[in-house]
Structure 1
Amino acid sequence: MTVSLEQLRRCHVAVDLGAARTRVYIKGLGLVVDEPSAAAVNTRTGSLIAVGALAEQMTGRTPDYIRVVRPVSGGTVVDIEMAQRMLRQLLGEKLRRQLRRKPRLRAAASTPHDSDPLAQRAAVETLVGLGARRVELVDTLIAAAVGCGLPVEQPTATMIMVCGAATTQIAVLSLGSIVTAVRIPIGGDAIDHAVIEHLRQYHELMLPSQSVRPLQLALSGIGPTPHGPTVTEIHGRDVATGLARSVQVDTDSVRQALHRPLTAVLDGLGKVLRGCPPDLVADLADCGIMMVGGSALLPGLDQMLRDATGMPVHIAERPDVCSVLGLGAMLDGKIRPMVLDPLGC
């Protein structure tokens, strides 16, 4: 792990800053914030108009002087000041007062695997701006594995796939550490973009920003597998006329559009398996792959991985909040490392 469990037990708050959603866990209170990572700003005055779900609803519906921004991209803070302002509003005055009572506030934050020092520094400065005296960084892969109940501290292999909005992270864990891992710049947003480009190119249809996600496009039951209805009706705006229009879309063609970005995910999965020791691969044949993250719920994605690898594939019970729940379990001291007695000489 990036830091010891003893250091994490001293933390008071854990933050998971994701490209899609921001989640905050407070020791003793549990998960207190689970909102979209979005903020609406008045560009004339610089004032903050809305954050979270309300700001996300404003996307594509605001006048010129109101801009909806996302201070987090790919799990990395790209606008530290805006991220701090967004977090303050999401926490609310009551929770901020409660945190200010801590004489030496300690915070924990999850960071993407193999993130560069600048990204780590941005995460630290964001929480320091909220009053944290010390910030501990935990790899998202380990936090998510703990959150979904994998025995990461045992000498057996566990494989986890974190399907985020901007990236997909895949790793094999053993003895509380990452054996081999890869981060792929393909996530739920890339899948959304593939659907948008397909409908624009072949049907001359533009979709509203709030209707992009395949799970919200009546594509449930389609996914990457050949099941479900053969035709789906989709509403959008005609590219040429600008008028509202509905089209009947062949689900086979949509399925092919979804397959293209997912091919990179399969390549990354093969790369991780090739870099894994044979003994650990044998363990994976029994326990399989655990999928977490919001994009893990894409219909048919788990079956696609089963067909490609021949291994069992499982989706966590609460895949979208596994990372922050894992951080919370470390803060609450629920994770006990395996103690190895030193051998006598």
Structure 2
Amino acid sequence: MFSKDIGIDLGTANLLIYVKGKGIIVNEPAVVAIDKNTKKNIAFGQEAYEMIGRTPENIEVLYPMQDGFIADFELTRAMLSHFLDLVLGKSLLSRLRIVICCPAHTTRVEQNVIRQVVELSGGKQIHIEVEPKVAAIGAGIDSSQPLGHMMIDIGAGTTDATVLSMGDIVSFESIRTAGKEFDRQIIQHIKKHHHMYIGERTAEQVKKEIGLALPSDGKPSSMQIHGRDLGTGFPKTLTVTAEEVNKALHTPIRKIVHTAKAALEKTPPELVTDIMDHGIILIGGGALLPGIDTLLAKELNAPVFIAENPLTCLAIGAGILLETTGKTPIRTR
């Protein structure tokens, strides 16, 4: 029998579900495949993700979450219902206490939309918590003391730079530039410089395999990719180098640096001193881009560390709340 408490990280790229006493039991792409003719949902999660770029005309693969917010209410509800029913079953779901996270700048109206989605998915006792606070817990940060702690969350849709002290947010900046923008810039670079079109899955693979935040000072790396020649329409194979991927990522990375600096500029000097002493924590998928920690440390003049669990610390933070108390101990806005 599962516990009656679960935590949900409903992200732009991935959906994670933490069950009290069990840990993370769902970690799937936040993707839905639909049949445009029948309007029926035909696949969710990894199964739907595998269809990207490989479907007939009547099948469309969609991300119902965009930039950390619900872009398609019905698809988000269907996706959440699918995974909750698959793991927990409807009879147990109605008795659950659910912690679900939302971006720090979520409005009351947007929070109500999140609540409605979870309720229509079968949940009854719903606690909405702010992501940076929960992620800090998952990353092992004790932000309850009068000390400054900074986190930079480079997710799929947005990058959020947050300074925390005494259990609350002191300063916060967000920009809609993150992992998916990295992919788009790689696609545009290949299109402009090599007259070849590649899909988003190929761009993501390039980013993961040879993406760099800083120019390489070692042996240059490269990989072969396949796409479509824009002139002939025929298949084309290209060798792309880490150096040119680094150049393609330059603009979005500069925007992320500017966002982090803006958050620090709004932070009281005493807390900035704390941050310089204790460092900045990087979370999110973008934290795995090689060199991003070194680049940010240089630009922000403070130590930068990648969290031990950058992809899952939000779900883990929600789980810690569930494991350690019967009621959520942090204040929502």
Q: Shared fold (TM-score greater than 0.5)?
A: yes
Sort the Cα spacing of 1:90 and 1:133 in 2 relative to 1 into closer, same or farther, 3 A.
closer
TM-score normalised according to structure 1 size: 0.88
Whether 2:221 is the aligned partner of 1:234: answer no
Give the drift of 1:249.
3.6
Task: Show the counterpart of 2:129.
Answer: 138
Whether 2:59 is the aligned partner of 1:29: answer no
In structure 1, which of residues 39, 46, 69 is the aligned counterpart of residue 39 of structure 2? Answer: 46
Is contact 2:161-2:263 (8 Å) kept?
yes
Residue pairs, 1:279-294, within 5 angstroms: 279-294=270-285
Q: Is the deviation greater in 143-152 or in 132-141?
A: 132-141
| 2-structure distance, mates of 1:15, 1:99 | 16
Is contact 2:186-2:249 (8 Å) kept?
yes
In structure 1, which of residues 256, 267, 271 is the aligned counterpart of residue 258 of structure 2? Answer: 267
Whether 2:314 is the aligned partner of 1:330: answer no
Sort the Cα spacing of 1:44 and 1:273 in 2 relative to 1 into closer, same or farther, 3 A.
same
| Residues 127-176 of structure 1 deviation map (CA, whole Å, 9 limit, x = unaligned) | 01122223221111111111010111122111101111010001111110
SS in 2 for 1:218: helix
Give the drift of 1:336.
10
Give the drift of 1:216.
5.0
| 2-structure distance, mates of 1:14, 1:337 | 14
Is contact 2:93-2:123 (8 Å) kept?
no
Task: Show the counterpart of 1:160.
Answer: 151
Aligned length: 326
Which stretches in structure 2 are left out of the alignment for 5+ residues?
A: none
| 1-structure distance, mates of 2:218, 2:13 | 28
The letter of the residue matching 1:108 is: V
Give the drift of 1:337.
7.0
| 2-structure distance, mates of 1:98, 1:241 | 56
Give the drift of 1:27.
2.1
The letter of the residue matching 1:50 is: A
Identity of aligned residues (%): 31
| 2-structure distance, mates of 1:54, 1:79 | 19
TM-score normalised according to structure 2 size: 0.91
| Residues 94-133 of structure 1 deviation map (CA, whole Å, 9 limit, x = unaligned) | 512463362xx33221111111233212211110112222
| Residues 211-239 of structure 1 deviation map (CA, whole Å, 9 limit, x = unaligned) | 1116556315x442333443624322211
SS in 1 for 2:201: helix
Is contact 2:210-2:223 (8 Å) kept?
no
| 2-structure distance, mates of 1:180, 1:110 | 19
Whether 2:83 is the aligned partner of 1:82: answer no
RMSD: 2.2
| 2-structure distance, mates of 1:336, 1:116 | 20
| 1-structure distance, mates of 2:308, 2:224 | 30
Whether 2:55 is the aligned partner of 1:62: answer yes
Task: Show the counterpart of 2:198.
Answer: 207
